[in-house]
């Protein structure tokens, strides 16, 4: 074999091996599809009218778990989920109890943790920050400190506390440092992230690269798709039609699933913040995932 043949063979073998590796990673990532969740906030209006019928529709569509919102005020959702066999592992909750506690013992947060444990939840998620909780990097540092303390308390009860991002955390502030940078540096090992891949992208960051960078620190993902033509980064609001069903936008989902598996992500949830027909949207998204 001459040098040219050797180099060609070596390059081909390397590419083939890389392709095989990616295929294996994606195959592993498809485990998320088999156990796919839905962030139930997608159907907030429908749930307010009829929780039982709405969650049955979620289960009938093929979703295996639901992620709640507004915990601990979720009794109707918990009952409806149990009646239709939809698993509940995670919920967004009243976040001030963790990031702006009224006392050093985090008493309000601990009551939420106790109810979460009684509900058999394993994850609680800080879903948002008020503008006054994120105006400066020092505000973010305060959030990181309190969230880390709350995470240690939740861990004692067997519950993982995480933070769900939007785009505003990626806005450069003093010295070009971002709030998200503060969280990466300031969260304790007990405190994890729930990465919303849509908002990561809107914030001007590659979600696959971020998942890999934070390997071992991402507990869950929100899977969404972003309409073509939406300018990024955008640290404000986006139009309602920016939220697209999976496969209809610009965010490749398969690499996200592969990266999630490599990074030790526990659960993935479909979410669509805005839709003219949310039930049709969630059915379309899961049908697309099942074709991967």
State how far the Cα of 285 lies from the Cα of 283, in Å rounded to an integer: 6
**Percentage, residues of the chain above pLDDT 70:** 91
Confidence of residue 199 (pLDDT cuts 50, 70, 90): very high
State how far the Cα of 150 lies from the Cα of 186, in Å rounded to an integer: 13
Q: How many domains does the chain have?
A: 1
- Tokens 């918990």 belong to 78
Per-residue pLDDT, 22:
52
Per-residue pLDDT, 27:
75
Query: DSSP secondary-structure letter at 101?
Result: -
Contact (Cβ atoms closer than 8 angstroms) between residue 232 and residue 187: no
Rounded average pLDDT over 192-216:
98
Rounded average pLDDT over 208-218:
98
Q: Is residue 18 part of a domain?
A: no
Q: What range does the domain containing 76 cover?
A: 32-289
Give the total residue count for the chain: 292
Q: Is residue 7 part of a domain?
A: no
Q: Is residue 16 part of a domain?
A: no
Mean pLDDT computed over every residue of the chain? 92
Contact (Cβ atoms closer than 8 angstroms) between residue 147 and residue 161: yes
Within 10 A of 141 (CB to CB), how many other CB atoms are there?
15
Measured over all CA atoms, what is the biggest interatomic distance in the chain, rounded to whole angstroms? 75
Q: Is residue 51 part of a domain?
A: yes
Per-residue pLDDT, 25:
54
Summarize pLDDT for 130-171 with one digit per residue, the tens: 999 999 999 999 999 999 999 999 999 999 999 999 999 999
Q: Is residue 23 part of a domain?
A: no
Q: What is the pTM of this model?
A: 0.91
- Where do the H-state alpha helices sit in the chain? 3-29, 31-34, 44-49, 51-61, 75-84, 96-99, 107-118, 137-156, 179-186, 197-202, 207-213, 253-263, 278-289
Reply yes or no on whether the pLDDT at 202 is more than 80.
yes
- Six-digit token string for 136: 């400066």
CA Rg value for the chain: 20
Q: Is residue 248 part of a domain?
A: yes
Rounded average pLDDT over 205-209:
98
Q: What are phi and psi of 198, to 5 degrees?
A: -60, -50
Per-residue pLDDT, 18:
41
State how far the Cα of 78 lies from the Cα of 86, in Å rounded to an integer: 9
CATH code of the domain in which 56 resides: 3.20.20.150
Q: Is residue 228 part of a domain?
A: yes
Q: Is residue 234 part of a domain?
A: yes
């Amino acid at each position: 074999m001459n040098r040219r043949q050797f180099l060609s063979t070596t390059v081909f073998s390397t590419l083939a091996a890389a392709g095989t590796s990616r295929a294996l990673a994606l195959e592993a990532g498809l485990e998320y599809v088999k156990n796919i969740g839905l962030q139930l906030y997608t159907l907030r209006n429908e749930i307010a009218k009829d929780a039982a019928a709405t969650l049955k529709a979620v289960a009938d569509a093929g979703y295996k778990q639901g992620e709640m919102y507004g915990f601990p005020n979720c009794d109707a959702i918990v009952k409806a989920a149990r009646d239709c066999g939809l698993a509940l592992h995670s919920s967004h909750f009243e976040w001030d109890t963790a990031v702006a506690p009224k006392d050093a013992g985090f008493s309000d947060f601990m009551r939420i943790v106790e109810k979460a444990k009684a509900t058999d939840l394993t994850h609680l998620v800080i879903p948002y920050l008020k503008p006054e909780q994120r105006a400066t990097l020092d505000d973010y540092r305060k959030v990181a400190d309190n969230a880390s303390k709350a995470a240690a308390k939740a861990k004692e009860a067997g519950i993982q506390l995480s933070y769900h991002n939007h785009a505003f955390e990626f806005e450069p502030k003093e010295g070009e440092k971002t709030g998200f940078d503060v969280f990466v540096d300031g969260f304790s090992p007990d405190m994890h992230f729930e990465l919303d891949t849509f908002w990561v992208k809107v914030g001007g960051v590659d979600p696959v690269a971020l998942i890999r960078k934070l390997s071992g620190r991402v507990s869950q993902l929100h899977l969404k798709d972003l309409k073509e033509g939406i300018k990024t980064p955008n640290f404000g609001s986006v139009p309602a039609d920016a939220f697209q069903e999976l496969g209809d936008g610009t965010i490749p989902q398969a690499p996200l699933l592969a990266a999630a598996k490599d990074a030790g992500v526990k659960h993935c949830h479909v979410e669509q913040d805005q839709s003219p027909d949310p039930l049709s949207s969630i059915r379309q998204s899961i049908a697309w995932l099942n074709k991967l």
